[in-house]
Amino acid sequence: MGARVLECKRDEERKTVRRVDELVDEGLADRSELEVLERVADRFDVAITKDLVEIITHADHPAPIARQFVPSRRELTILPEERVDPIGDDPHSPIKGITHRYPDRLLLKPVLVCPAYCRFCFRRERVGTGSESLSREELARAFDYIRAHEEVWEVILSGGDPLILPPRKLAEIVQALSSIDHVRVMRVHTRVPVIDSSRIDVAMIRALRSPRLTTYLVLHTNHASELGPEAKSACARIVDAGIPMLAQTVLLRGVNDDAKTLDTLFRELVVLRVKPYYLHHGDLAVGTGHFRTTIEEGQAIVGELRKSLSGIAQPTYVLDIPGGFGKVPAGPNYVGIEGDGGFRDVEDPWGRRHPYPPVGNE
């Protein structure tokens, strides 16, 4: 059964909002915007799960969540620098379903659909209900590619959202990866614990575990309001099952572009036993300019966080270089160049400067 059929079947039970008129009925969009939002939905898929509808309609501060998932007329503004493939997946995709940018790790994308669609997604031109999961033959070719590349130590399940797959299908993928001797780590990138938490059941957790592979689950979450009771319970089920969790967050204008909001999110994640891992600068995805901050704004926010957060609560602020050249840290630099006598000028988190003497072979 294809991922699109599975998704629609689940929708019948979960009442996912997919049409603009349904957004209006749920009070998530204004009827006067119906025509322009239809144009947005024609290009970029819309899906908002029941969990998200509940969060948006009952949260004390719903706007940061709604902004992430409810379509906006601003998505029709396409800037010259924006790209269909903003992080350069295509040049590093030797076969369908594989992106191999770094020597020792690669992405395996078994499915290009999600339970809900983020309005800032860097793969928004590729994912959607018209996409299909890899066929058995295509998956077999992907596994053959991984077997043939013995330098691959880590496989990252991405997409789309791999946890939209039924546990049986996911278990088959995990078992196949487990049979490849040089693959030691599997990382799963997902929003499901937040946006469709009931999927994180006993069968799903069983599917993720392997006696030979070390599994990490990386949660995408951008605001503390996403972490309601159901999401917290889903995270607890994962960690209690022995699967360590990390979190990645996208810096988004109007959602979390201030130190106080991110401080609250990262502290809550640490309490949930989820290590903040990456804070992504917004990618140059088509129609997402209204979400992007400047790099300087991001660096200033990260500098503020360094004043207040312990190390375990601080992610690395990263920028994905357009064209497929990889991620680089983009945070502020506290160590200056060598000056008189070999001393370096070092800035502490509060902006005070200190000399650091030459050491070793400097």
pLDDT of residue 14: 56
Q: Give the per-residue pLDDT at 144.
A: 98
Active-site residues: which are they? 101-102, 105, 114, 118, 121, 123, 283, 320, 327
- Can you state the percent helix, strand and coil of the chain, rounding each to 5? 40, 15, 40
> Which band of pLDDT confidence, cut at 50, 70 and 90, is reported for residue 261?
very high
- For 314-333, letters b (16+ CB in 10 Å) and e give bbbbbbbeeebeebeebbbe
**How confident is the model over 189-217, as pLDDT tens digits?**
999 999 999 999 999 999 999 999 999 99
| Short-list 276, 284, 208, CA closest to 240 | 208
**Structural domains for the chain:** 74-329 (3.20.20.70), 337-362 (no CATH)
Q: Looking at the predicted structure, is the pLDDT value of residue 5 above 50?
A: no
- Give the number of C-alpha atoms closer than 13 A to the C-alpha of residue 246, restricted to the C-beta side: 16
| Residue 1, pLDDT above cutoff 70 | no
Is residue 299 over pLDDT 50?
yes
Q: What is the largest CA-CA distance in the chain?
A: 71
Give residue 42's pLDDT band: very low, low, confident or very high (50, 70, 90).
very high
pLDDT for residue 301 is more than 80: yes
Q: What is the pTM of this model?
A: 0.92
Contacting residues for 172 by C-beta, under 8 A, at least 6 apart: none
Per-residue pLDDT at 13 exceeds 50:
no
Alpha-carbon gap, residue 103 to 153, rounded angstroms: 9
- Tokens (6 digits) for 102: 């770094």
Q: Mean pLDDT throughout 24-42?
A: 96
Mean pLDDT, residues 296-318: 97
What pLDDT shows up at residue 361? 55
